[in-house]
Structure 1
Amino acid sequence: MSGSRKAAAVVEDVSGNDIGDDVWEGGEENFLENDDNPAGEPDEDPEAAELEANEKEASDEDDGDQDQKDAEEVDEDQDETAEDDDGEAVQPINPPSNWPQQEQVFFRSLPPQLQHAYMDRARAMVADYTNKTQQLAQVRRHYQEVDQVIAPRIKSWQLSGMSTGQALTQLLALSDLASEKPVEFIKYFSQVRGIDLNSLAGQPQGAAPDGQGYVDPQVAALQRELAKVQSTVSQTVAQQRQREEAARRAQVEAQHRNAEAVINQYASQVDQNGKPVYPYFNQLEGMIATLIQSGQARSIPDAYQIAVWAHPQTRPKMLARSKAEENAKARRQAEKARKAAVSVSGAHGSGTGRLKTDDMSINALMRAAARGEIA
């Protein structure tokens, strides 16, 4: 097993281990502050040295009976691990100083190639953690702006028996009323606050009503807060309305495309003889749509039949077509009756009492056949 493959296996095995919360606290910069520093003289740590000595002694005792062949294979793997693909020696590196002591000892015990692989994996994890933390901070700043506006009023809303959502909904409704129907908003506000609009109308311009020249500072502060909330809510509502309008337009366009596809399908449909099934569809398209929308027809074929017989330009054509079909049918029946009469007269001779049909018109043949005078 080559050194690079062993390194990859160990990295895959240890990548899920907890490095420790304190390793992440400093962010990517602190985590990698000693990254890629060649391991010259490691920092002297008595506890670490003692821990390493104990571990080495225990390892020597456990491996005392190991086969010599396995030891040689381990030596070969370590030699391979100490060299990169070009045959050059890979320099060991020190772990970051802010790692826990146990992690530093474990890191120094790894082969150089595995140290580099371990550090690359750790760097990627810290970078991903930092990126997600920054994204979360952006979201937090966005909601902090709204929270700073509404936070002073939350307690007052709760005392009034309203949740934050209910209060914002009420403010939004008042804002919409003031924007869309300002006169009704003034009437509503004057009734709620007990303001006599008639008395205001009779006062000189710039004069304040009796008893209303003084504005309580708390009321003024609340009014300013309310204005901020209304501004924030108005912006949010405007953005929401824009999104809804864009979605509605997209839906209408999709429905329009589907309707055009259905119309083209019916307009181009032909029968087994290659003739149009709905020859006047394009001419009656508007009338067909009206019949379906009004509920007078349940389907496009039903609407077409109603429209083609009701439209002043297509009705004469349909009547002529129907008359032609009836005449053709009558001719076929008359021809059939004539052939039957000839067959009967030939079988019974001229004394059978049957009528001669050679010179009879179509109507005469039909009447004779109805009276039973010919077969």
Structure 2
Amino acid sequence: MLANLVTADLTLLERSSWIAGLLGVLVAAYSLLIGSRGIKSTLEPEETREQVAIRLIRAFASIEKLALKIHGRDTERSPQTSRAISLRQVRKIMLEMGVWGDADIISFDIAVRARNAVVHGDIEGIDSLDLRYAAEKAQQLLSKVERWSEEVVAAERSYRRAASAGDLHALFDLAGLLMKRGDIEEAEALYRQAVDAGDVAAVYSLALLLARQGRDEEAEALYRRAIEIGDVAAPYNLANLLDEQGRDEEAEALYRRAIDAGDVSALNSLANLLARQGRDEEAEALYRRAIDAGRVPALYSLAVLLARQGRDEEAEALYRRAIKAGDVAAPYNLANLLARQGRDEEAEALYRRAIKAGRVPALNSLANLLARQGRDEEAEALYRRAIDAGHVPALNNLANLLGEGADAVDGNGDSNWR
């Protein structure tokens, strides 16, 4: 109806200026309506779908280029694409370096799904408003990266001037900036210089840098030194290091120390450790404490624990909460749960969502589901995509589909703890 008002008789507007004003208000209201998601416009858009898609792809190309420039020294070429950096790596870099916040990461994941659809030739399968929304979000994310990059260049110049003049804080800040950017060798040298000059915080930061390089023995010694000095973050990070080495008893004690000091991240990590040991009741209690403290990863981890116990209804509710909170692994695990219940239509939709998010095992799992339904051609195509992506179980499953192998297997199951 409002669209009809837009094309109202122009002679009426000439005779009555107040009607023209009213019409302007209505047009503005209509513009707001069509700008909200889920409501399609009957007016011609300013850009074609192809133009919006190009804008989306260009924004991502610029983001990837800047991410590689920012963190290029610590980034490996993506094994599954010809690109020098994968979108998963971009996501990790921007989050770790503080360029994007949690809300930005959710926007990025949404935009990635639209970008992947465009790249795979499925532009017509995207709602036009969703496509435009993704392009706008990608452009906003690019703008943030550009601003951050400019600020970092200016900050580095300032830190170097101050550090050269003997400013210990500037020396520490410069080392942190270089570590984030991937200039590890210079960052280590500057942290050691700060440690020798008596900077307490540099002890912990140097331990972090060494741990990320896999230099565990040196990192452990520095974490213990930081703990003796009174660094409140060191117990949790040393616990993580020991946890990865399988030194569960020492790690548990340090996790509990971190929890007592108010570190809510340690709740989820200790729960993961206990769950691996089969101490499910203790783990569940800690997961629930972590959820109450606002730790989103605990939603997913508790869902995995409950699903393993056969408490499907509770697990499903938690997976859905995790999905709503932006957890990228939850759609795949929920799809597995629904597939086991025979809820194939819901499972298929979630597998496809996981595939768009880059989850390779979902290719194999969806192919298994389709094969059980007799949709062999679709299943074969997905198995081949999984094989191309390096998912070994899909080899046997494809052979089975073609009548040459054993029974189909997932070969992955639910992802476990975080």
Q: Could you tell me the TM-score, scaled by structure 1's length? A: 0.21
Q: Which has the higher contact order (CA 8 A, sep 6+)?
A: 1
Between Structure 1 and Structure 2, the one with more helix by share is 2
Greater Rg by CA: 1
